[in-house]
Amino acid sequence: MTIYPDTSFLVSFLAGWERHHALAMAWFRPRSEAEWLISPWAEFETLNILRQMCREPNGPPPNRVEAVRRYWRHLFRAGPFVRRPVDWLATTAGCQELSAAFSVRQRMRSADTLHIAILDQILPDLFVTSDGNQHALALARGFESEKYR
């Protein structure tokens, strides 16, 4: 089985201090043997959000986020995370198609739309998110999708 997690899942999974960490871990454990596909967009957005958390009141110190980054790098080497390249021209064309087909009917933030357009290239068996709008868009596009919370 292959799983493409969105950023909401990845941040909760990686950040032990994040309020939904336990939920993400509980969802991950029975699927830990799956191949977890990570796009360049998901990798960048996840690390950027983790770093931005340092700016929040009572946020983690930068060295804790750096430790999480190193741990995530280890998960790419040891598994179960696997980087999947994407064709950015095809991705932006996919975003345009999604916008034309669905944006007049449902909420579609640009960054979320990127994740759904990427699904067309990496073709995972399952998409996981906590974002209801993203979940609905994935389903509308014909992908298997689950909300982990």
- Per-residue model confidence as pLDDT tens digits over 34-64: 999 999 999 999 999 999 999 999 999 999 9
What is the predicted pLDDT for the residue at 8?
A: 95
Query: 126: which 2 tokens?
Result: 């399952």
72-76 average pLDDT score: 96
Which residues does residue 36 pair with via DSSP β-bridges, in sequence order? 3, 81
Distance of CA 61 to the CA centre of its chain: 23
Question: Would you say the C-alpha torsion 35, 129, 31, 1 has a positive or negative sign?
Answer: negative
> Does residue 20 contact residue 74 with C-beta atoms inside 8 Å?
no
What is the predicted pLDDT for the residue at 11?
A: 97
- Per-residue model confidence as pLDDT tens digits over 95-140: 999 999 999 998 899 998 999 999 999 999 999 999 999 999 999 9
What is the predicted pLDDT for the residue at 86?
A: 97
Q: Which of 91, 80, 98 is nearest to 32 (CA)?
A: 80
pTM of the model: 0.94
Whether the ω angle into residue 30 lies within 30 degrees of 0, i.e. cis, is: no
Residue 112 contacts by C-beta under 8 Å, 6 or more apart in sequence?
6, 131, 133, 134, 137
What is the predicted pLDDT for the residue at 63?
A: 97
